[in-house]
Amino acid sequence: MSTESKTISPRDNADILAQALPYIRKYHGKTMVIKYGGNAMTDPALQAAFAEDVVLLKLVGINPVVVHGGGPQIETALKRLGKQGHFIQGMRVTDAETMEVVEWVLAGEVQQDIVGLINQAGGKAVGLTGRDGGLIRARKLKLLDQKDPSVEHDVGQVGDIDQIDPSVVKALQDDQFIPVVSPIGFGDQNESYNINADVVAAKLATVLQAEKLLMLTNIPGVLDKSGELLPELTPRRIDELVQDGTISGGMLPKIAGALDAAKSGVSAVHIIDGRVPHSMLLEVLTDQPFGTMIRSH
């Protein structure tokens, strides 16, 4: 960022800031849920840019809530233990031992890294799991086979969200803190559940009545069969892309969550490229179209 700034004239800098003003005004006091994942989580320069973006949004009066994944970090930890990760329809099969690893990687290592980065950038981040304040109550996920719905896959301690109680998130927001949420829920017997982070971000955005849901990925957005970016997606177009296999694997829960949020009243849902430095600021504070927008109709 610093090398770029040197080449921008003071007048251009002023123009850029002036362009951001209507967006700052539009989103002031509004909540934005950000799903943080992919390269943005593992590349040190992108990590720093992400933390700066989150802090800047908070400082101009927007309320960011971060929900993070951690697939690669979980994979690395499991390999160290000699365990091989196994996926069914984009969902990680989670036995009891794997669940232990998921908890200490997500709620320990990954969450605390993000909290530290945001604090280092001048923010006040607080880490939460689904247990804190009864945030995410969950039950065992029933995963039906895509091709044959009469077949149910057992994916272990993978959870489906029963209920989100956002009071702890709201209390932190009101107190100038930035919540960082690990996608771990708890059940009736206090058992832990690994929940897809895209699903948590989408449900949380709905419950908080967020103005925007931003999902950071490792691609420019949703691409068609020939690799072209699709700037907008409707439910009908999404169905077509799932049927022909364009949307598959880990993209399935992401798109399903995004569509649910859009249908439930989240004004704007965007899938954006987390590999671009400051991609969130480009999306939120400029009029440059960026990534793929999911529409409810």
Residues making up the binding site for substrate: 70-71, 92, 194
| Sign of CA pseudo-dihedral 51, 57, 63, 68 | negative
Structure tokens at 28: 């002031």
Contact 255, 269 (CB under 8 A): no
The answer to whether 165 touches 133, Cβ cutoff 8 Å, is: yes
As a dihedral over the C-alpha atoms of residue 253, residue 254, residue 258, residue 259, rounded to 10 degrees, the angle is -50
Enumerate the known binding-site residues.
70-71, 92, 194
18 touches 197 (CB < 8 A): no
Greatest extent of the chain over all pairs of C-alpha atoms, in Å: 64
153, two tokens? 């896959």
| C-beta separation of 295 from 229 below 8 A | no
Find all residues with CB under 8 Å of 71, minimum gap 6, and list them: 37, 92, 250
Amino acid identity of residue 284, one-letter, is: V
CB distance 135 to 168 below 8 Å? yes
Q: How many residues does the chain have?
A: 297
Please report, as a single letter, which amino acid is at residue 117: L
